[in-house]
Chains A and B, each alone.
Chain A
């Protein structure tokens, strides 16, 4: 086509005849391309798995003994139909705040805790109601179950924030979620290690520091990555707890 025959588009004039068909085709391509794109991208998202807040169970009230470290735990002494006596529940506050600040002083005492359960399979956590409504001190001391050492283990898996993992967010793990997980850990939400395979039927382990306190911030760089760790494993109540030194984490290839 010579230069002079080619249709020449001027924005404020009518579209030249020779271009109309072409532009119609381009418009349809754009429209149906976006239609197909939405279907392809939207309908093939990964399954985050069954997890979440159990609002269907309603508000739960149980009694138990508080263990403050490495993260607030409740060893249930008086349960209900959803929560059995002897279960060790991880506790959390609202949003991205752990229950640590409010509950640390009650270590070793019996409280009545009220909140909403979250769970992913066997991983269970109780989100206490906000303010002072979440727990009430019953002003008696109770026994914290003795911890049982299970030796030192080499594990592969992922360090997550326990709350999002338990379904507070769906999806609630992985690298796209890493910043959120870190923010949760900064807010004292209990970290949970997901193991490639279970030990004694347990694949979720609460993670604390070697000294028995909360996980060191040096470990945050590894959150969301698939890592190999070496850590001491203990059973506290019916919960497995890892004592992890950040120096003994390495990213697996």
Chain B
């Protein structure tokens, strides 16, 4: 199996596990942990892609909410401290990457004339 096949198999397995979790969560779990979801079914298919992608996180949050170990104070503490540095890093990276790309550009060697460096073939002819 080559690397590409391995990566694709992992993706397939990841999505299959996600599918099982989506099935169980949307049919049985969601009503237990979110009262707004009780009796609401039409929106549930919209959640499937998200569960397929980030199912480990779904399991983690589901467990926390089931066990009631959620810390309410945390819900009101947005990650704003980081924001300044994320913004600065982000803003600097954009022109830097553009410059990197630009500097790697090649120019077609229009004026280069082919040169015969030997009359002989340097390696054995077949």
Interface residues of A (CB under 8 A from B): 69, 147, 149-157, 195-197, 199, 210-212, 225-226, 228, 230, 232, 234, 243, 245, 251-253
List of B residues within 8 angstroms of A152 by Cβ? 116-118, 120-122
Q: A149-B125, A197-B113, A199-B114 are in contact. Are A252 and B106 (CB under 8 A)?
A: yes
List of B residues within 8 angstroms of A154 by Cβ? 114-115, 117
- Knowing that A156-B114, A196-B111 touch, tell me 16 more A-B residue pairs with CB under 8 angstroms: A151-B120, A152-B120, A152-B122, A156-B112, A196-B108, A196-B109, A196-B112, A197-B114, A210-B123, A212-B126, A225-B106, A226-B108, A226-B109, A230-B117, A234-B121, A252-B106
* Closest CB in chain A relative to B3 CB, distance in Å: 14
Q: Give the A-B contact count at a CB cut-off of 8 A.
A: 67
Interface of A is mostly: strand
In the complex, the 4 A-B pairs of residues with the closest C-beta atoms, listed nearest first: A212-B126, A232-B121, A156-B109, A156-B112
Per the bound structure, the CA–CA distance linking A234 and B107 in Å amounts to 28
Q: A152-B122, A210-B123 are in contact. Are A196 and B110 (CB under 8 A)?
A: yes
* Closest CB in chain A relative to B123 CB, distance in Å: 5
Closest residue of A by beta carbon distance from B118: A152
List of A residues within 8 angstroms of B112 by Cβ? 155-156, 196-197
Residues A149 and B121 in contact, CB atoms below 8 Å apart: yes
Interface residues of B (CB under 8 A from A): 106-123, 125-126
Per the bound structure, the CA–CA distance linking A103 and B122 in Å amounts to 30
Residues B116 and A151 in contact, CB atoms below 8 Å apart: yes
List of B residues within 8 angstroms of A252 by Cβ? 106, 109
Per the bound structure, the CA–CA distance linking A210 and B122 in Å amounts to 10
Per the bound structure, the CA–CA distance linking A230 and B106 in Å amounts to 19
* Closest CB in chain A relative to B75 CB, distance in Å: 22
Per the bound structure, the CA–CA distance linking A231 and B59 in Å amounts to 60
Per the bound structure, the CA–CA distance linking A56 and B110 in Å amounts to 32
Partner of A226, one of B107, B116, B117, B121: B107
Residues A211 and B126 in contact, CB atoms below 8 Å apart: yes
The CB with the most chain A CB atoms within 10 A, among B107, B109, B117, is that of B109
List of A residues within 8 angstroms of B122 by Cβ? 152, 232
User: 14 A-B Cβ contacts within 8 A?
Assistant: A149-B125, A152-B118, A153-B114, A155-B114, A156-B114, A195-B114, A196-B110, A196-B112, A230-B117, A232-B123, A232-B125, A234-B125, A245-B123, A253-B106
The CB with the most chain A CB atoms within 10 A, among B113, B120, B125, B126, is that of B126
Closest residue of A by beta carbon distance from B107: A226
Partner of A157, one of B107, B109, B119, B126: B109
Q: A225-B106, A252-B106 are in contact. Are A243 and B121 (CB under 8 A)?
A: yes
Per the bound structure, the CA–CA distance linking A152 and B125 in Å amounts to 12
